[in-house]
Amino acid sequence: MISAIRVLLGDRSYDIHVGQGLLAQAGTLMRPVLSSGSVFVVTDENVEPLHLAKLKDSLDAAGLDHHGVVLPAGEQTKSFAHLEALLDTMLDAGCERHTAVIAFGGGVVGDLAGLAASLLLRGVPLVQIPTTLLSQVDSSVGGKTGINTTQGKNLVGSFYQPRIVLADTDLLETLSPRELRSGYAEVVKYGLIDDPGFFLWLESHGKSLLAGNGRKRKHAVLTSCAAKARVVMADEREHGSRALLNLGHTFGHALEADSGYGELLTHGEAVSIGMLMAFELSRRLGLCPEEDVARLRRHLGQTGLPTALPERADMPWNAERLMEHFIRDKKVRDGKAVFVLARGIGKAFLSAEVPEDVLLAMLREATGEAAAAGTPGAGGAA
Amino acid sequence: MISAIRVLLGDRSYDIHVGQGLLAQAGTLMRPVLSSGSVFVVTDENVEPLHLAKLKDSLDAAGLDHHGVVLPAGEQTKSFAHLEALLDTMLDAGCERHTAVIAFGGGVVGDLAGLAASLLLRGVPLVQIPTTLLSQVDSSVGGKTGINTTQGKNLVGSFYQPRIVLADTDLLETLSPRELRSGYAEVVKYGLIDDPGFFLWLESHGKSLLAGNGRKRKHAVLTSCAAKARVVMADEREHGSRALLNLGHTFGHALEADSGYGELLTHGEAVSIGMLMAFELSRRLGLCPEEDVARLRRHLGQTGLPTALPERADMPWNAERLMEHFIRDKKVRDGKAVFVLARGIGKAFLSAEVPEDVLLAMLREATGEAAAAGTPGAGGAA
């Protein structure tokens, strides 16, 4: 059974389809929103052996001509070099203005292929078929595309909405537990932003969802996509409220950048620690009840997500160094970082008024440079 | 005296200001449409010694902080390598979401800086200050950005509208006669598309305009910008009628690509020959009166624009080779090239129904591979 959510954005409106066994119908589902019978599939080395044959069958069944490319898996692929090579491959393959680009993979494939689709001949149709929990609940919806630069993550990109998003929750079965948990951090985020009822549901069902319950996975993906769609419809280009989706991400991006986007922290793990930092910071500012911070820490911990900074072999974490990353963050305005804070679970809001000393003190405890005082901080030993 | 035209595109609407001595007021004119007091100026080695000091004075006078970069001049700068380096420079310079990018130069600077502005942090405000006739009447208005690839011109890019366009016609005084004529080809185009009265005016005043008459230059730039604005307002993303602006460009791009974007043909010269090819093709198809083709050839010739392919030292022109370029063109749909044809001066229209044999015969005469038969073709000796 496939469910659909409509993202209403004028002439850029589109549907998100969510369901089990959806991939077999992908060709038929996308055919009506394409402007030609030709598609170009971008995927990666992880997805190709697992799922590409099924997608191709479904394209064949719908009478769609397809070409494609298989990219190396991993965050390193979100680079200028890969963007240039991908566009070159698309042009050499004879892609035209009406050839649709299918992004078939996780966040890396979606962000890179989405950016390439937005730039190829100044924009060709884009179909997102996310294969990870992270991309199904977050990056495939809302039109953000991007690549990383030496200065940080996603600092180069575009807003470019897909024609359709197809999320087959059966594909999640091939994910490693770590990948699944990483995506789950973004699911938790939607509860934290403005849906305390969903957070409550996750407290009851998160563990069985992660363990493999297909019905619950579908519910979580649908609820997350609907939440994201609401935010995007209200503020497509992040002039204001869309920034709420960055809950935990200002911290998370800094952690990822500082540790070199490596194996130490996945994006979702960095967001998990980052969300807890945002709640801990809110608590220190007298905004968020202690019990909500504790409840968040408990839930993240129970689902196997990190609640403290991992040990580093290369060089120790450093609060001042993390601070420098915030200044680079896209959410900076006139030199001032904007943070997503919370008055409790389901009560997130934006603030550009975070005193530097409170922030630094919180970070120093998280990095272990200062001893945790009073209530254990985000980085305190759980 | 400065005149303004409003381009109405919803929340992407903006003004084009045209006038003599406008550069001194640039800072004051742009200040109200910027979202911060910080700008990043992109210019090139040609413009910098001539005009940059005046722009900086005007930014200082308006209280705008400015950084910037001076790029090498020339079409080679519209490359992936330069795009990457430019974005890198902007990020290193601390550009934020509200830092405006000022494209201060000709079409190359406008296209590259516009693309960079659309990609930097997923889009920062853009100001176009075109310094050539070509960019004042064409590339700075309408939001097309782009770079070239080995497969062709502008095959990678975006639609990204500026916040304001500032065209100082005094800057045209520093252009070489060849640059000026090249831009003039695009001015002529607006008459050919749908304004026979403007073409008539150009027949009377084109030569004195090129010779230096400031009042007439302003009139031509204003009329051209108004024409372009009308087309862009009707079809911002070129789903249909905007393609009329490509009159002469399908041929022109093929000529440029085939000759390596070198000194042999400027863009405007290629467009000049291309427009005449479009009219000649229309005549051969029984669509356009012979006298309109002759009138166009006469006017282009009288203003010093080429009406036939120049001699090539490297390798001879070849009709089949030119045909291959059309297939690569962005205007191709389902493998079929769309041409802008004309039923006469001021009566352009789109057609995907050009018989290949008629096209090839016209090209063979133009390249000198076949002798001109009957009425001299576009490529016949004038």
pLDDT truncated to tens, each residue of chain B (382 aa)?
899 999 999 999 999 999 999 999 999 999 999 999 999 999 999 999 999 999 999 999 999 999 999 999 988 999 999 999 999 999 999 999 999 999 999 999 999 999 999 999 999 999 999 999 999 999 999 999 999 998 888 999 999 999 999 999 999 999 999 999 999 999 999 999 999 999 999 999 999 999 999 999 999 999 999 999 999 999 998 888 999 999 999 999 899 889 887 889 999 999 999 999 999 999 999 999 999 999 999 999 999 999 999 999 888 999 999 998 877 665 665 567 789 999 999 999 999 889 999 999 999 999 999 876 544 444 444 3
Q: Are B128 and B162 in contact (CB under 8 A)?
A: yes
Question: Is A28 an 8 Å CB contact of chain B?
Answer: no
Q: Are the folds of A2-174 and A197-367 the same?
A: no
Class of domain B2-175: alpha beta
Q: What is the pTM of this model?
A: 0.91
Q: Please provide the DSSP assignment of A281-328 as one string.
A: HHHHTT-S-HHHHHHHHHHHHHTT---SPPP-SSS---HHHHHHHHHH
Q: Are A240 and A16 in contact (CB under 8 A)?
A: no
Question: What Å distances lie between residue B313 and A7, B256, B316, B317, CA to CA?
Answer: 57, 15, 7, 10
pLDDT for residue A203? 98
Q: Which architecture characterizes domain A197-367 according to CATH?
A: Up-down Bundle (1.20)
ipTM of the complex: 0.90
CATH number for the segment(s) B190-366: 1.20.1090.10
User: What gap in Å lies between CA B41 and CA B56, rounded to an integer?
Assistant: 9
Q: How far is A146 from chain B (nearest CA, A)?
A: 8
Whether residue B321 lies in the annotated active site: no
Whether residue B228 lies in the annotated active site: yes
Domain definitions of chain B by residue range: 2-175, 190-366
User: What gap in Å lies between CA A184 and CA B243, rounded to an integer?
Assistant: 46
Q: Which two tokens stand for residue B220?
A: 């031509």
CB atoms closer than 10 angstroms to residue A65: 12
pLDDT for residue A377? 46
Q: Which residues pair with B316 in a beta bridge?
A: none
Which is nearest to B83 in space by CA: B105, B113, B60, B38?
A: B113
Q: Which two tokens stand for residue B284?
A: 């051969």
Q: Is B201 exposed, middle or buried (0-12, 13-18, 19+ CB in 10 A)?
A: middle
What topology does CATH give the domain A2-174? Rossmann fold (3.40.50)
pLDDT for residue A380? 42
CB atoms closer than 10 angstroms to residue B34: 20
pLDDT for residue A352? 87
Q: How many interface pairs between A and B have CB atoms less than 8 angstroms apart?
A: 98
Question: What Å distances lie between residue A95 and A117, A120, A231, B112, CA to CA?
Answer: 10, 9, 33, 23
Question: Is A97 an 8 Å CB contact of chain B?
Answer: yes
* Chain A contact set for B38 (CB, 8 A): 334
Cβ–Cβ below 8 Å for B84 and A88: no
User: What gap in Å lies between CA B84 and CA B44, rounded to an integer?
Assistant: 16
Q: Which residues of chain A have pLDDT under 70?
A: 328-335, 372-382
Owner of token pair 């990219």:
A71
Interface test with B, best of A83, A84, A112, A122 (most B CBs within 10 A): A122
Q: Which two tokens stand for residue B224?
A: 């051209």
Q: Where are the alpha helices (DSSP H) in chain A?
A: 26-30, 47, 53-61, 80-92, 107-119, 133-134, 177-194, 196-211, 214-234, 249-258, 267-284, 290-302, 319-328, 356-367
Question: Is A79 an 8 Å CB contact of chain B?
Answer: no
